[in-house]
Amino acid sequence: MIGNDIILALSVRSVRLHFLRSVLAALGIVIGVVAIASIGMMGANMTLSVTEQLSDMANKLTVTPYTGGGGGMMMGGGGGGRVVISSGSSSDDDDVITEKQFKTIQRIVAKYGTAYTVRSESDRIEVGSDTGRATIYGLDPEIMREILTVEEGEYPKSTTSVAVGPTLAERLNLKIGSKLKIGDPDEGSTTTVRVVGILEERGMSMDLSTDMAIVGSDKLFVGIYGGEGEYDQVNVVVNDINNADVVKTAIEDELNRKEDTVTVQDSSRMMESITSSLSTMTTFVMAIAAISLLVAAVSIFNVMMMSVNERVREIGILRSIGTQRTEILRMFIYEAGILGLVGAIIGAVMSIIIGYIVVVGMVGTAEYFFAAGSISYVPMAMAVGAAICIVTGVYPAWRASNLDPIEALRAE
Amino acid sequence: MSIPVIELDDVTKVYPLPAGDVTALSGISIRIDEGEFVAIMGPSGSGKSTLLNQIGCLDRPTSGDLFLAGKNTREMDDRELTSLRLSSIGYIFQKFNLIPLLSAYENVEYPYIMKHRKNDDTGRVRDLLALVGIDESLSTHKPNELSGGQQQRVAIARALVNDPAILLCDEPTGNLDSQTGTQIMEALSELHKKGRTIVMVTHESEIAAYAERTIVIRDGRVA
């Protein structure tokens, strides 16, 4: 007994009869589905994980003196790169934020959050016989406690103590109690300070890049570089992320009314550009993966053409005893569909396994693996794989259904 | 006068070939009544198989009309002709032409399912197989596990499953030894005695002798 759909039964039997051939054809689809799904998932997980990291600082705005260009502030990598915020070693040039401007900012921000000043300078430093350059930040000690975490030791209080970033500490072999000299002896005096704390790693951030920096109190900073009442940067922390835009516009409207004096940056633009470049990359790699599906499609096409050519006589018999063209068409579409479906199902199972391994390996966390944006690549790749099979099967099936029954019966 | 089961009226079949048209059938007019057993004879290349293909609606005449049970097939499209083949015509081929993927039972059941859109629950398939001498154990075999004679018996059962008005046989004994051939012919004679209309193409006169009437075709004409 076979089910009512004898046409489907014939397709199933044809696939089973040529088991190895069918398995190999379906394998192509499996590989294609796995490639597309796991790369898609990898991209989605990367984007989700980066977005999560970035949104931690989405409530932060930085206000820097307007320099005419695209903005005076850029993000410093956790590892090394530093950008000189004000030019030269003196802070008394025009590129500063004045106390008056800061008060204005504070007044605007008051309703939405808090603002604090940052002084920073890039300078030569000397530890024993090692020399190098680092950023020196001057922060209000109160603020410092709020925004920075000391991993080891304590927060610097006096004008001779500093905390250092973990990367800098490691590179220069600084420990609690180490002495370091700030300043270039050729250009003037140097200041010797003592390390009292090592900061916790902060990573990529746009407000402060302390991993490779020295952090001291504002008094220490002014003592070395002067510039009372002048700041290199004002950081704003907004309580509600949704107000970030309002605050940004308000500051710009107020301080840039006559001419551009400050640049206000939020992290949204950076976030946008990072996620968009990630998605471009993912799409590109997925397009490469799609080539494997194309190869699979060719192999399905080949198998279907073989199946039709082998069964010309059978098609002739079926037609002569009263099988409609549409039923012959259906029979071969089913056959392609079975290959596609089996391939897609196996592919889906394997892409969850392989995708998981890839995501853990490449992104480092499977936290977002089962998020909708990630796992949805599995049914999507399945659908694409199965659809490609069916589309590929259309021409062979159409050819089969249009065979002349008499000619077909004559075939050996 | 009753309506003939098969009526050909001035049927001509021309195959257009690059080297010139080949006329396979030229002005054939035949009338076959219900219950007749007609043999079509003729040397190879005479056009007898072409004639059978016209009657079996596998092909269309170039000109002339073919009436099956009073209906002109000229006005039918491929879909209707296919339905006609399914319901009204039973085909028995020289090479048996069973479907290799299906068992003997399923081969017989196939046209039944195509017509009724369901499995046979009336026992008709089993009865027909018994009638042609295929027992239940053989009916689960695939065609390639059966002898030529057994395959032809299954083919006869298949041809009868939708109770067609016409049974068309194209050299039904051509691939069988003479003893098996005789058995198959006796089976066909039995069907004729029960009132089945049979049209059979053969080139052997001893096979044609089973028929009541013989039409001889030569060079595409009724001789």
Residue A240: is it exposed, middle or buried by C-beta count within 10 angstroms (0-12/13-18/19+)?
A: exposed
How crowded is the C-beta side of B151, counted as CA atoms within 13 Å? Answer: 20
The letter for the amino acid at A4 is N
Running DSSP on this structure, what letter comes out for residue B3? P
Name, in order, each residue with C-beta under 8 angstroms of A88's C-beta and a sequence gap of 6 or more: none
Among chain A residues, CA nearest to B89:
A321
Q: What is the pLDDT at residue A97?
A: 87
Report the run of H or E that residue B157 belongs to, with start and end: helix B148-160
Q: Which residues of chain B neighbour A8 with C-beta distances below 8 Å?
A: none
B106 in contact with chain A, both atoms CB, cutoff 8 A: yes
Cα dihedral angle (A305, A309, A315, A316), rounded to 10 degrees? 150
Q: Which residues of chain B neighbour A17 with C-beta distances below 8 Å?
A: 101
Q: What is the DSSP string of B49-82?
A: HHHHHHHTTSS--SEEEEEETTEEGGG--HHHHH
Distance CA B81, CA B66 (A): 12
Q: What is the pLDDT at residue A80?
A: 38
Distance CA B159, CA B69 (A): 18
Residue A395: Cβ within 10 Å count: 14
Among chain A residues, CA nearest to B80:
A324
Chain B: nearest CA to A312, how far in angstroms?
A: 12
- Asked if residues B187 and B149 have their Cβ atoms less than 8 Å apart, the reply is no
Q: What is the pLDDT at residue A53?
A: 74
Per-domain boundaries in chain B? 35-57+77-222
Report the run of H or E that residue A295 belongs to, with start and end: helix A267-310
B110 in contact with chain A, both atoms CB, cutoff 8 A: yes
> How does pLDDT run across A302-359, given as a tens digit for each residue?
989 998 999 999 999 999 999 999 999 999 999 999 999 999 999 999 999 999 998 8
Long-range pairs for B129-133: beta carbons < 8 A, 24 or more residues apart: B129/B104, B129/B105, B129/B154, B129/B157, B131/B157, B132/B156, B132/B157, B132/B187, B133/B187
Running DSSP on this structure, what letter comes out for residue B35? T
- Nearest CB to A322: which of B101, B106, B114? B114
The letter for the amino acid at A318 is L
User: What's the mean per-residue pLDDT of chain A?
Assistant: 84
For chain B, the 3-state helix, strand and coil shares in percent, each to the nearest 5, are 35, 25, 40
Q: With 60 as the cut, is the pLDDT of residue B26 above it? A: yes
> How does pLDDT run across A188-213, given as a tens digit for each residue?
778 889 999 999 887 767 778 888 89
Q: Which residues of chain A neighbour B99 with C-beta distances below 8 Å?
A: 10, 314, 317-318
- Chain-centre distance of CA B113, in angstroms? 20
Number of helices (H), then strands (E), in chain B: 8, 10
Percentage of the residues of chain A whose pLDDT score is greater than 70: 91
Long-range pairs for B172-178: beta carbons < 8 A, 24 or more residues apart: B172/B92, B172/B93, B172/B94, B172/B200, B172/B202, B172/B207, B173/B202, B173/B204, B173/B207, B174/B94, B174/B202, B175/B94, B175/B95, B175/B96, B175/B148, B176/B148, B176/B149, B176/B152, B177/B148
Q: Which residues of chain A neighbour B158 with C-beta distances below 8 Å?
A: 321
B115 in contact with chain A, both atoms CB, cutoff 8 A: yes
| Distances B88 to A132, A389, B55, B76 between C-alpha atoms, Å | 99, 37, 11, 14
Among chain A residues, CA nearest to B99:
A314
Binary contact (B93, A2; C-beta < 8 A) = no
Q: CA B47, B49, B53 angle in degrees (round to 5)?
A: 115
When mean pLDDT is compared across A274-288, B23-37, B201-215, the lowest value belongs to A274-288
When mean pLDDT is compared across A127-141, B53-67, B133-147, the lowest value belongs to A127-141
Distance CA A224, CA A183 (A): 9
- Nearest CB to B97: which of A10, A317, A325? A317
Using DSSP, state whether B4 is helix, strand or coil: coil
Q: Which residues of chain A neighbour B117 with C-beta distances below 8 Å?
A: 4
- Chain-centre distance of CA A332, in angstroms? 44
Q: Which residues of chain A neighbour B170 with C-beta distances below 8 Å?
A: none
When mean pLDDT is compared across A165-169, A186-190, A380-384, the lowest value belongs to A186-190
Among chain B residues, CA nearest to A324:
B82
> How does pLDDT run across B86-95, given as a tens digit for each residue?
999 999 999 9
Among chain A residues, CA nearest to B108:
A321
Averaged pLDDT, A76-92: 39
- Nearest CB to B113: which of A4, A316, A317? A4
Which of A278, A289, A357 minimizes the C-alpha distance to A37? Answer: A289
Q: Which residues of chain B neighbour A325 with C-beta distances below 8 Å?
A: 78-79, 82
Averaged pLDDT, B13-35: 92
A14 in contact with chain B, both atoms CB, cutoff 8 A: yes
Distance CA A62, CA A120 (A): 13
A68: pLDDT confidence band, cut at 50, 70 and 90? low
Binary contact (B85, A321; C-beta < 8 A) = yes
Question: What pairing do the DSSP bridges indicate for beta strands A150-153 and A191-199?
Answer: antiparallel
Q: Which residues of chain A neighbour B102 with C-beta distances below 8 Å?
A: 2, 10, 13
Residue B73: is it exposed, middle or buried by C-beta count within 10 angstroms (0-12/13-18/19+)?
A: middle
Question: What pairing do the DSSP bridges indicate for beta strands A262-266 and A130-139?
Answer: unpaired
A402 in contact with chain B, both atoms CB, cutoff 8 A: no
Per-domain boundaries in chain A? 6-53+273-410, 60-239
Q: With 80 as the cut, is the pLDDT of residue A218 above it? A: yes
Q: With 70 as the cut, is the pLDDT of residue A102 above it? A: yes
Q: What is the pLDDT at residue A253?
A: 87
Averaged pLDDT, A370-375: 88
| Class (C level, CATH) for B35-57+77-222 | alpha beta
Among chain A residues, CA nearest to B52:
A406
Report the run of H or E that residue A193 belongs to, with start and end: strand A191-199
